[in-house]
Amino acid sequence: MWNNTLLLWYFQVHENHRRKFYGSILMNKMIDLAKENGFRAVTLETQNTNAPAIHFYKQCGFMIEGVDLSFYTNLDNGNEEIALFMRKKLDEE
């Protein structure tokens, strides 16, 4: 917990169970727990190349709030994965 923000570091649903709303159920529960424990926001990191994850997180109310062009390597030339930091603010609900 930094800055009263919960960092979601690893979120994955096994491929055999995707598109069955398990991800939404898990995310909603995690957000509820964050609210109950007084967090003001939930932050996560994904990649610009992971369109399904970006779409899912946006459906859950996350917005892109940051980009890191050299998060994965110092040798990025713009053609590799770029880190996207997404956040859902909890105090606005």
Say whether pTM exceeds 0.75.
yes
For the ranges 6-15, 28-37, 56-65, 73-82, the lowest mean pLDDT is seen at 73-82
State mean pLDDT over 59-82.
Answer: 82
Which CB contacts under 8 angstroms, 24+ apart, belong to 88-92?
Answer: 88/31, 88/41, 88/42, 88/60, 88/61, 88/62, 88/63, 89/40, 89/41, 90/31, 90/34, 90/35, 90/39, 90/40, 90/41, 90/42, 91/40, 91/41
